[in-house]
Amino acid sequence: MLAKPAVIEANSLKKDLDGMSNPISRWLSSDVGYSFRNSKTAMVAAFIAFVFIFCAVFAKWVAPYNPFDAASLELMDSLLPPAWSADGSTKYLLGTDDQGRDILSALMYGTRISLVVGMASVMLSLVVGVSLGLIAGFRGGWLDAFLMRLCDVMLSFPAILVALLIAGVGRAVFPNADDSLAFGVLIISISLTGWVQYARTVRGTTLVERNKEYVQAARVTGVAPLRIMLRHVLPNVLGPVTVLATIQVASAIITEATLSFLGVGVPPTSPSLGTLIRIGNDFLFSGEWWITIFPGLTLVLIALSVNLLGDWLRDALNPRLR
Amino acid sequence: MLAFVVQRLIQAIMVMVSVAFIAFLLFQYVGDPVLFMLGQDATADQIAALRKDLGLDQPFIVQFGHFLLNAVQGEFGISLRQGAKVSQLIADRFPATLELAVIAAGMALLLGIPMGVYAALKRGTLSSQLLMTFSLLGVSLPTFLIGILLILFFAVLLGWLPSFGRGDVVKIGWWSTGLLTAKGWQHIVLPALTLTVFQLTLIMRLVRAEMLEVLRTDYIKFARARGLSNRAIHFGHALKNTLVPVMTITGLQLGGLIAFAIITETVFQWPGMGLLFIQAVTFADVPVMAAYLCLIALIFVVINLTVDLLYFAVDPRLRVGKAGGH
């Protein structure tokens, strides 16, 4: 990263003096914000991710139709191609599926479910992984040895396989699970593979931080170990955790889509992107490519933009690269 | 050395026992085999008699012991859905998955290594940058989507290749192979390609990175000073030294191929173990699920153990220092 030009330094200082009013402008003038303003890739990726997240969150208002409202479905309009092809209708921009559902609307609702499952599993694995990593690094001893062995074992299996096996077993154990339980099993099965990364990263950083002077000082002044962990060590290990979490969101979304595609993911009543691809796959041979290709494209774009953001964040937060 | 081997062996056994325990729990808590065997209108006496016969009245730990003993002999009972012995079902499906995985691994190596070498030697040219872009795409596309795209292009739009099943198979003893018929080869192209994309890009990036690293070293400069031909330097000196990590990763990835085969087999309806497992999950077919769980864990444990030991044998630095990590 290039050194900051003095002009911008002065500008940001002036802005700071202007009264720290707007948090966005304050962020833009920070170090991370500076690197954001100078990375075209990051800005484009952030824009794409923002559009998808916006459409997903406000699907109820943004989507042209409600794909789950059976009353509004018109069977006459089923299997229409996208608007720009010869048989397409401008009523349905990206075409319709076999039940006359608008693909664009189904995409927005599907993205919402994919994002919710992805973020929930990342949150869960983050909390579990960071806590275990902190404890392992801070306490050491047999607990540390055991946890790290466990991580070794988990890492020797591909994440998707572990998630698939757990989701499959969960499905067999609760054959008549209602929706919320099915979501729970899915989120747990994805996060059970994710926590390892956090635990390893946090443990590594904690081992370094533990012996630094500020922690020693806190110890000497009699601060309780739990408080040292949470108030002193934790803030210093959050950088790599943020980067990891961003990248994990993408991989969690892909894992969820894969599981749903295989039929062991979200319940069919609330289709995610993977479910939409699964449904569309049956129509591939009769030439109705749009039912499966658009959800696939959405999935790739989300994963790619989140991954690019994660890459940028890793470089921006790494002080050695500045 | 010995301590390292023993430690790894103990770890492998622990993994196997815990996976077997999970499989055993499945049997305990999913469905009741007694009701399944006798039907709904069995009398209490009949049920009790059968429970005693099957050993279900014995303590938990004894039952688990029996389960382990049977599992070691490959005995997982009878599939609830297909009525055949699970060991037989798996043996029928195993060749399909292994052929797919081996062909995919072969393609990944045969294409990945030359592409990686090319990208390293011609760094900065348009073609090598194209290769790198392609590899980025290969890493970020989910496997099932690659399969769907390949089907769309090569099966639906162009109509060149079949996208469903194994084609004609020939039986050699109990092994059924699709590699002896033209139809079989046609059928394996798309699934193998799908399975190979991720591994291919991984190997390519790895070879490129290792090559670039090696090309910077002193002995390459020295080889140039000796006036050796580019060809001798690149392939005789540089490539040889990049192959150790490549072999290790490839070994580890073979397990990954078998895992990702679940996805590929579902997309292409390839009659392998992965498809068997997914169908078993859909119908809560516990014996098949349990057998697959144990088998996949065994494959992984064996591969990891072999790679660990191989690494130890190949890299002399590990033998001298502390034998931790890899």
- Look at B142 and A149 and tell me if their CB atoms are within 8 Å: no
Instruction: Sort out which chain A residues have CB atoms less than 8 A from B267's CB and list them.
Output: 281
Residue B106 has pLDDT above 60, yes or no: yes
Among A153, A261, A289, the residue with its CB nearest the CB of B144 is: A261
Structure tokens that stand for A195 in this block:
């926590």
Among candidates A149, A264, A303 on the partner chain, residue whose Cβ is nearest the Cβ of B140? A303
pLDDT in tens, B288-317: 888 888 888 888 888 888 877 777 776 666
At residue B255 the predicted structure's pLDDT band, cuts being 50, 70 and 90, is confident
Q: What is the mean pLDDT of residues B97-105?
A: 88
Q: Which two tokens stand for residue A35?
A: 């690197």
Which residue in A153, A156, A247 has the most chain B C-beta atoms within 10 A of its own C-beta, making it the best mutation to test that interface? A156
Q: Reduced to 3 DSSP states, what percent helix, strand and coil does chain B have, rounded to the nearest 5? A: 75, 0, 20
Q: Is A51 on the interface with B (CB under 8 A)?
A: no
> Token digits for B216?
């910077």
Question: Within 13 Å and on the Cβ side, how many CA atoms surround A105?
Answer: 18
Give the range with max mean pLDDT: A219-223, B220-224, B243-247, B318-322: A219-223
Tokens of residue B51, six digits: 């429970």
A58-78: pLDDT as tens digits: 877 777 777 776 666 666 666
Check residue A1 and give its pLDDT.
41
Asked if B266's CB is within 8 angstroms of A261's CB, the reply is yes
Tokens of B88: 């037989």
DSSP bridge pairs for B172: B175
pLDDT exceeds 60 at position B322 = no
pLDDT given at position A76: 67
Statement: residue B141 has pLDDT above 90: no
Instruction: Spell out which residues of chain B touch residue A165, defining contact as CB-CB under 8 Å.
Output: 293, 296
Residue A158's closest chain B neighbor by CA? B256
Question: Could you give the angle at which helices A179-210 and A141-155 cross, rounded to 10 degrees?
Answer: 120
Interface test with B, best of A249, A261, A286, A309 (most B CBs within 10 A): A261
Mean pLDDT, range B210-219, rounded to an integer: 82
Amino acid A120: pLDDT: 93
On the question of pLDDT at B102 being above 50, the answer is: yes
* pLDDT on residue B324: 45
Lowest mean pLDDT among B14-23, B28-37, B103-112, B137-146: B28-37
Nearest by CB to residue A292, choosing from B26, B148, B263, is B148
Helical ranges in B141-217 per DSSP H: 143-150, 182-215
Three-class SS string for A293-304? HHHHHHHHHHHH
Question: Do residues A190 and A121 lie in contact, with contact meaning Cβ atoms separated by under 8 Å?
Answer: yes
- 0.90 surpassed by pTM: no
Q: Which residues of chain B does A171 touch, with a Cβ-Cβ cutoff of 8 Å?
A: 281, 284
Whether B293 and A285 lie within 8 Å, measured CB to CB: no
C-alpha B169/C-alpha A255 separation (Å) is 33
Of B148, B277, B289, the CB nearest to A296: B148
> Cβ neighbours of residue A56 under 8 Å, at least 6 residues apart?
A108, A111, A112, A114, A115
Distance, CA of A106 to chain centre: 20
B26 contacts A153? CB cut-off 8 A:
no
Question: A245 CA to chain B: closest CA distance, Å?
Answer: 17
C-alpha triplet A153, A155, A158: angle, nearest 5°: 115
Whether the Cβ atoms of residue A262 and residue A247 lie closer than 8 Å to each other: no
pLDDT value of position A126: 93
Chain B residues contacting A, CB < 8 Å? 11, 14-15, 22, 26, 29-30, 140-145, 148-149, 151-152, 155-156, 252, 255-256, 259-260, 262-263, 266-267, 277-278, 281-282, 284, 286, 289, 293, 296, 300, 304
Distances from the Cα of A114 to the Cαs of A108, A187, A249, A302, B180, in angstroms? 10, 11, 10, 10, 43
Residue A107: pLDDT over 80: yes
pLDDT mean over A94-110 = 78
Q: For position A127, what pLDDT does the model report?
A: 93
Residue A84 has pLDDT above 80, yes or no: no
The complex's ipTM? 0.77
Task: Judge contact between A199 and A133, C-beta under 8 A.
Answer: yes
Average pLDDT, chain A: 79
- How many angstroms separate the CA atoms of A2 and A23, rounded? 25
Looking at residue A276, its amino acid is: L
Query: Rounded to an integer, what distance in angstroms lies between the CA atom of residue A152 and that of residue A149?
Result: 5
How many contacts, defined by CB atoms under 8 Å, are there between A and B?
97
pLDDT exceeds 50 at position B192: yes
> Residue B45: what residue type?
D
Residue A163 structure tokens? 């998630």
- b/e sequence A20-43, b meaning 16+ C-beta within 10 Å: eeeeeebeebeeebbbbeebeebe
Tens of pLDDT, residue by residue over B49-84, are: 777 776 777 777 788 888 788 777 777 777 777 777
For the cut 70, the answer to whether the pLDDT of residue B320 exceeds it is no
Look at A289 and B286 and tell me if their CB atoms are within 8 Å. Answer: no
Across the interface, which of A160, A173, A262 has its CB nearest the CB of B29? A173
In the predicted model, what is the mean pLDDT of chain B?
A: 79
Q: Does A322 have pLDDT greater than 50? A: no
Task: Please report residues of A whose CB lies closer than 8 A to that of B256.
Answer: 158
Interface-testing mutation among B30, B137, B143, B148, with chain A (most A C-beta atoms within 10 A): B148
Say which DSSP state B11 is in.
H
Q: Examine the pLDDT at A7 and tell me if it is beyond 60.
A: no
Q: Is the pLDDT of residue A79 over 60?
A: yes
Contact indicator for B37, B77 with CB cutoff of 8 Å? no
By C-alpha distance, which of A74, A49, A73, A12 is closest to A298? Answer: A49
Q: Give the mutation candidate from A41, A146, A155, A161 for the B interface (greatest B CB count, under 10 A).
A: A161
Convert A40-101 into a string of H (helix), E (strand) and C (coil).
Answer: HHHHHHHHHHHHHHHHHHCHHHHCCCCCCCHHHCCHHHCCCCCCCCCCCCCCCCCCECCCCC
Give the CA count within 13 Å in the CB-facing half-sphere of B38.
Answer: 18
Residues A306/A49, Cβ–Cβ less than 8 Å = yes
The 3-state DSSP class for residue B161 equals coil
Distance CA A260, CA A265 (A): 4
Average pLDDT over residues A294-304: 88
Chain B residues with CB inside 8 Å of A261's CB? 144, 263, 266
Nearest Cα to Cα of residue B240 among B220, B254, B261: B220
CA distance A3 to chain B (A): 26
Residue from the list B14, B142, B266 with its beta carbon closest to the beta carbon of A254: B142
Which residue is associated with the tokens 């890459």?
A: A311
Nearest CB among B145, B278, B289 relative to A299 is that of: B145
8 Å CB contact between B283 and B179 = no
CA distance B92 to chain A (A): 21
Query: Which residues on neighbouring strands pair with residue B171, listed in sequence order?
Result: B176
Which has more pLDDT, A201 or A60? A201
Strands B170-172 and B175-177: antiparallel
Res B325: pLDDT: 44
Q: What is the pLDDT of residue A9?
A: 52
Cβ distance A287 to B156 under 8 Å? yes
Residues of B within 8 A of A303 (CB-CB) are 140, 142
pLDDT for the residue numbered A123: 93
Q: For the residues B158-182, what does the mean pLDDT come to?
A: 75
Asked if A281 has any chain B CB less than 8 Å from its own CB, the reply is yes
pLDDT band at residue A125 using 50, 70 and 90 as cut-offs: very high
A129: pLDDT confidence band, cut at 50, 70 and 90?
very high
Q: Which residues of chain B make contact with A249, given a CB cutoff of 8 A?
A: none
Give the tokens for residue A14: 């002036």
